[in-house]
Amino acid sequence: MTGRVLDLTRGLNGKQRLTVELDGDYRAMFEKLKAKPLLDVEIKVHRAKRSKNANAYFHILVDRIAEARGLGIEEVKRLLVHDYGTLARDEEGMIIGLKLPASVNPDTIYPYTKFFDDRTENGKAFKCYLVLKQTHDMNTKEMARLIDGAVYEAQQLGIETDTPEQLEKMRSLWEQAERSKS
């Protein structure tokens, strides 16, 4: 749910009180939670999810790069996410990683990982990987970075892409569309 912080005051007991204006209807959840003695509260800056237009343009670039390099579409997408994607984080903001036996290919488990360390524990070899977000989990800013990387790679291969002005206009429209959804 999205909303806006309106006010911060201090109660007579010395504790802070935060007033938040919510965009949705919170009454049912309020009734369930008001009697609970303690709650975990998280408030973070809202980031709009990437738009379908952004995703479509990314896939056009992926198709063209795959054709030019003689690679499969999924392989090119994986390479682009690997080079220009965003690290996945848990709810507390910690980077998500995997430690796998050295014999295990991480691509059989999850398509977007980045190797970062070899380890030996009790005589057994392990490889450690960072996990990257899938494109459908990226927000507008993260998707824009991925598309910028795809544009760069396409241009290096002589593939025609939108002009910087067209890309900026498209990016502005994506962000505007996402803001109007929020």
pLDDT at 28 (0 to 100) = 82
Give Cα 136 distance to the centre of its chain.
8
Residue 16: inside a domain, yes or no?
no
What is the layout of strands, in order, in the sheet containing 113-121?
A: 97-101, 124-131, 113-121
Residue 9: inside a domain, yes or no?
no
CA dist 174 and 169 (Å) reads: 9
DSSP state, residue 48: P
Find tokens 């749910």 and name the residue. 1
CA dist 18 and 35 (Å) reads: 18
Residue 38: inside a domain, yes or no?
no
Residue 122: inside a domain, yes or no?
yes
Residue 103: inside a domain, yes or no?
yes
Q: Which range of residues forms the domain containing residue 94?
A: 52-181
Count: domains in the chain: 1
* 3-state secondary structure at position 24: coil
Residue 25: inside a domain, yes or no?
no
pLDDT at 40 (0 to 100) = 82
| β-strand pairing of 3-10 with 124-131 | unpaired
Residue 14: inside a domain, yes or no?
no
What would you measure as the largest C-alpha separation in the chain, in angstroms?
A: 69
Spell out the per-residue pLDDT of the chain, length 182, in tens: 778 888 889 988 988 988 888 888 888 888 888 888 888 887 777 655 545 677 788 889 999 999 999 999 999 999 999 999 999 999 888 999 999 999 999 999 999 999 999 999 999 999 999 999 998 888 888 988 999 999 999 999 999 887 767 767 776 766 666 666 65
Residue 149: inside a domain, yes or no?
yes
Q: Kindly report the number of other CB atoms within 10 A of residue 63's CB atom.
A: 13
List, in sequence order, every beta strand (DSSP E) within the chain: 3-10, 16-22, 97-101, 113-121, 124-131
